[in-house]
Chain A
Amino acid sequence: MSMLHGVILLPFAAAAIVPLFYKLFKKVHTGWFVLPVPLLAFLYFIAELPSISKGEAIQATVEWIPSLGVDITAYLDGLGLLFALLITGIGALVVLYSIYYLSKEKEAIHRFYMYLLLFMGAMLGVVLSDNLIVLYGFWELTSLSSFLLIAFWYNRDHSRYGALKSMLITVFGGFAMLTGFILLHTMTGTFSLREIIDQAGLLSSHELFAPAMILVLLGAFTKSAQFPFHIWLPDAMEAPTPVSAYLHSATMVKAGLYIVARFGVVFGGDALWFWIVSLTGLVTMLWGSYTAVRNTDLKAILAYSTISQLGLIMSLLGLGSASFYTGGADTAIYTAAIMTAVFHLINHATFKGALFMVVGIVDHETGTRDIRKLGGLMAFMPVTFTFALIGTLSMAGLPPFNGFLSKEMFFTALLEVSTMDFFNVQSWALLFPVVAWIASVFTFVYCLIILFRTFTGPFPKEELGEPPHEASLGLLIPPGILAALVIVFGLFPNLLTYTLIEPAMKAILPTLDIVEAKKISFWHGFNTELKMTLGVIALGVVLFLTKRYWMRIYGYLPGNLSFSKIYDFLLKGSQRFSRAITDTYMTGSLRHYMIYIFAFLVLVGGYFLLRINPFERHGNIVFAEITVYEAILTGVLILAAAAVPFAKSRMAAIVLVGTVGYMVTLFFIVFRAPDLALTQMIVETVSVALFLLCFYHLPKLQRERSSSRMRIFKIILSGSVGLLVTMIALAVSNHQLFDSISDYFVEESYRSAGGKNIVNVILVDFRGFDTFLEIMVLAAASLAIYSLIKVRHRTEQGEQEEGRS
């Protein structure tokens, strides 16, 4: 147990006692008790910052299942620290924000904070775990707590729909990732990430390499809302706004990026990884920004914008993976891509968190998030407007904010990719910058929409009623801090360069000798990147002003087709499909089920019987001779049995079955079994008597009511069953593998047990337990019969009367 373990455990411990605070201190908002948790953790991670910056790492292990190689190993390096700071820092701000956002009277806030703390701990566990199985455990815990948080207002249909959707998609990815981890274990023999990385170079030739890569990526892509798994994120916006700000912009959706960054060293350097990650990122970026423009709900716009920005970071991680391939002189070009990814990851967390909180304030003050109903809020909410301005302009990539710098670096990275001369990049060289540029134009457009449709123009009094007023100070502080960070990181980017970014880069690229962060300069000359940015601004403004003319395009692309519809179709379709299958074979008819059972018996039994020859004799076997008596007996037995199905009346059927029973009795006599004959005779007599007793009450025997086709089928099936049994009996008779153990019973019956009737001695002495339990069976049967006849339910009428009262 180390400090690091303690920090991961802290949120879980707090989650356990939060309801206690809620019950004990009704007057104080429970959030105040929660606030110290992320703050303390944040301070701890800040305190570790200097030593981690120097390139050190903390590792501590607690044994969990040593026999399976599963230990709880906490590992803190540059990348882990970066994420841990984001999680705890933004976590503290979100908790503060939620104190003012959620009413302690109207909402079940103890549940809210329990889920939130659970999520926080799980997220810390994901980024600080070295053991893959532990990592997976925390990973699923984030899915679960996210599910709980999305459905926080569980009375609403949309919340439940969104929660279910995100659960199904992320857990699907989670399972895929687990499979990938197990494949990695198969390849390397260890679950420890550190040890896997040590073997990184040896893996690429393994046949499981590509499957493991794709499965791990599936987990990362579903969690990080990459195309086409992005559909759950917009529906997750039904969660309370602090949740959206925390989980669905700053932390959970970045867990997939974390996985891609962590496993880059294992899988990177391979063309497959390079293309999958880069292209998925680019497509996601383009599709997200394109779709964001179409939406009218502020949170939905932000959700698609998050998808788009995550795609941007993902594509950078993909491009950066090329540095594992080259490994030589010009790695600096590709490590720059990784640096940009890390930088933008931080920037995105700051401005997206701020924007979500701003949207929450607007929602809180006006009661709507629909941009068609909003407008002219600038005059009433100047502070909120300022934060929104900073956030959107940073997201759009304008100076002097941090988004500008990361966007410039993004363009630089893309332009330099076109100089790559491997992985067949050249033939696609232009694709990267062009697609990214188009995506940036759309990004610019939706940023303008958020800003101007919400805050400028006339105030729609008839829609909103009284003008809103500025939010309370508590609601404004958290977005204020984030907006301040946006500016600080924009003006002084090198605050981060050597403290956070470089250690993170070293953690992402641990196998390279020299990894250096370049100094980020605010003004980098009048170069291609700047011209691209100017182009983005110019085209973006034009598109924004002419928006109403070209919005029709969305009617054609995507038109009626959307990935959510495909999801719904798949979900409903699979339900219908399984329902249809179940309905086909679960008919409710006893006869059908008997047919399945007998058919299975015949097919499987027959198959195995065919593999041996039942007619071949093994050992010295002498069959008993057949005398006239036995031949006659057999003939009568078969005749009586064969007549049963043809019996026209109940009486005839019962008598015929009785005849079969008495014939069996005679067989027992012939085969020297006096006790059996006695019992069989009595039982048969009693059975027939019982049949006749109930005779009067039973329905008339109907004629066979099956179709002739059914009858033929029944004959074939029962014929095969009979044949199978005959074959089994023959096979058994033809084999004598061991001597019987009955010699012992014969010898000891009189000597040890003092009885001469060997069968009876076996029944009551050698194997007395059988007899005891058989008596129990008879007792149970007689009790059951008694209660069946004696105990009557109330009549249906009585039940109805009871139900009514």
Chain B
Amino acid sequence: MEILMSVTTGILFMIGTYMVLSRDLLRIILGTSMLTHGVHLLLLTMSRLKTGVAPIWSEDIGAYVDPLPQALILTSIVINFGVTAFFFVLAYRAYKELRTDDMEQLRGRDDE
């Protein structure tokens, strides 16, 4: 399962990278979300999969899955949500003001 998950994360990263390299702002934002999913699955995979039951403590259970990566991923999901929401509104505002979402047109000014 770990090998399959490694390949899956690789594919998610590949698609995310491809999207981030596009010209449209919307594609770039979607690409970052793909990268995020890839990172979360990678974190989970790295701590070994299915080594026990869910980490809810109970007296008669010996083996749990590693709870620490889950805590880390949970933090990451929330942070990522905040950032994505902000990006999204930023893109919306940029489009409202500048009437374009083409990154090739959103370059720095020449006299900088």
User: Footprint of B on A, CB under 8 Å?
Assistant: 587-591, 594-595, 598, 623-626, 630-631, 634, 637-638, 641-642, 644-645, 650, 653-654, 657, 660-661, 664, 667-668, 670-676, 679-680, 683, 686-687, 690-691, 694, 697-699, 701-702, 704-706, 714-715, 717-719, 721-723, 725-726, 729-730, 732-733, 740-742, 745-746, 749-750, 755-759, 762-763, 767, 770-771, 774, 777-778, 780-782, 784-785, 788-789
CA distance A782 to B86 in the complex (A): 8
Query: What 1/0 mask marks residues of chain B from 42 to 59 whose CB sits below 8 Å from any chain A CB?
Result: 101111111111111110
Q: A591-B103, A626-B4 are in contact. Are A725 and B78 (CB under 8 A)?
A: no
The B6-39 residues at the A interface (CB cut-off 8 A) are 6-24, 26-28, 30, 33-34, 37-38
A539–B1 alpha-carbon span in the complex (Å)? 100
* Least distance between A742 CB and chain B CB atoms (Å): 5
* Interface range for B: 35 or more
When chains A and B are docked, how far (Å) is the Cα of A715 from the Cα of B65? Answer: 36
Contact of B37 among A650, A664, A722, A740 (CB under 8 A): A664
Closest to A631 in B: B4
Minimum CB–CB distance for A799 against chain B, Å: 13
Complex contacts, A653 vs chain B, CB 8 Å: 26-27, 30
Q: Which of A588, A675, A770 contacts B70, CB < 8 Å?
A: A675
Name B18's closest neighbour in chain A (CB-CB).
A718
- By a CB distance below 8 angstroms, the chain A residues around B78 are 679, 683, 774, 777-778
Known: A641-B12, A729-B46, A777-B83. 9 other contacts (CB 8 A): A624-B48, A634-B5, A670-B50, A740-B47, A745-B67, A746-B64, A758-B57, A767-B71, A774-B79
**Hey, which chain B residues are within 8 Å of A595, CB to CB?**
21
Q: Provide the bound-state CA to CA distance between A719 and B1, in Å.
A: 22
Output the least CB separation between B70 and chain A (Å).
Answer: 5
Cβ-closest chain B residue relative to A699: B101
Nearest chain-B residue to A601 (Cβ)? B17
A770 nearest CB across to chain B (Å): 5
CB contacts (< 8 Å) of A718 on chain B: these are: 13-18, 21
> Contacts A672-B54, A781-B82 given: A634-B8 contact, CB under 8 Å?
yes
Chain B neighbourhood of A661, CB < 8 A: 33, 37
The CA of A782 and the CA of B85, in the complex, are separated in Å by: 8
Q: Can you offer 10 A-B residue contacts whose CB atoms are under 8 A?
A: A671-B50, A687-B84, A697-B92, A701-B24, A705-B23, A715-B18, A721-B17, A729-B9, A745-B67, A759-B71
> Closest approach, in angstroms, between the C-beta of A100 and any C-beta of chain B?
49
Smallest CB separation, A319 vs chain B (Å): 57
Q: Which residues of B contact A762 (CB under 8 A)?
A: 67-68, 71
Expressed in whole angstroms, the Cα–Cα distance for A755 and B24 within the complex equals 47
Q: How far is the CB of B53 from chain A (nearest CB, A)?
A: 6
Q: B41: which of A664, A691, A694 is its contact (CB, 8 Å)?
A: A664
- Residues in B neighbouring A660, C-beta threshold 8 A: 12, 33-34, 37
Known A-B contacts A676-B77, A778-B78; A594 and B15 likewise in contact (beta carbons under 8 Å): no
Given A718-B21, A729-B9, A733-B2: A641 and B46 interface contact (C-beta under 8 Å): no
- Asked if A683 and B81 sit within 8 Å, CB to CB, the answer is yes
Question: Closest residue of chain B to A789, judged by CB?
Answer: B89
For the complex formed, measure the closest distance between the CB of B1 and the CB atoms of chain A, giving whole angstroms.
4
Whether A763 pairs with B96 at a CB distance below 8 angstroms is no
- Asked if A729 contacts B47 (CB within 8 A), the reply is no
Specify which chain B residues have a CB less than 8 angstroms from the CB of A631 in the assembled complex: 4
* Contact present for A733 and B50 (CB under 8 Å): no
- A726–B9 touching, CB < 8 Å: yes
Closest CB-CB distance, B98 to chain A, in whole Å?
11
Question: What is the bound-complex CA distance between A726 and B92, given in angstroms?
Answer: 34
User: What separation, in Å, do the CA atoms of A714 and B15 have in the docked complex?
Assistant: 10
Residue from A679, A697, A723, A759 in contact with B67 in the complex, judged by beta carbons closer than 8 Å = A759
Contact of A645 with B19 in the complex, beta carbons under 8 Å: yes
Instruction: Determine whether the beta carbon of B54 is less than 8 Å from that of A589.
Output: no
Interchain CB contact under 8 A, B21 and A763: no
| B49 closest partner in A (C-beta) | A624
The minimal Cβ–Cβ distance linking A669 to chain B, given in whole angstroms, is 9
Known: A733-B46, A757-B56, A770-B75. A726 touches B10 (CB 8 A): yes
Instruction: Give chain B residues whose Cβ lies under 8 Å from the Cβ of A644.
Output: 15, 19, 30, 34
Contact between A694 and B34, CB atoms less than 8 A apart: no
Would A676 and B73 count as touching, CB distance under 8 A?
yes
State whether B68 touches A741 (Cβ < 8 A): yes
Min CB–CB distance B60 → chain A (angstroms): 13
Residue of B nearest to A784 (CB): B86
A624-B68 in contact (CB<8A): no
Give the 4 A-B CB pairs with smallest separation, nearest first: A722-B14, A726-B10, A781-B82, A729-B6
- Contact among B20, B38, B50, B57 with A624 in the assembled complex (CB-CB below 8 Å): B50
In the complex the two chains form, what is the Cα distance from A634 to B2 in whole Å? Answer: 12
Shortest beta-carbon distance from A67 to chain B in Å: 45
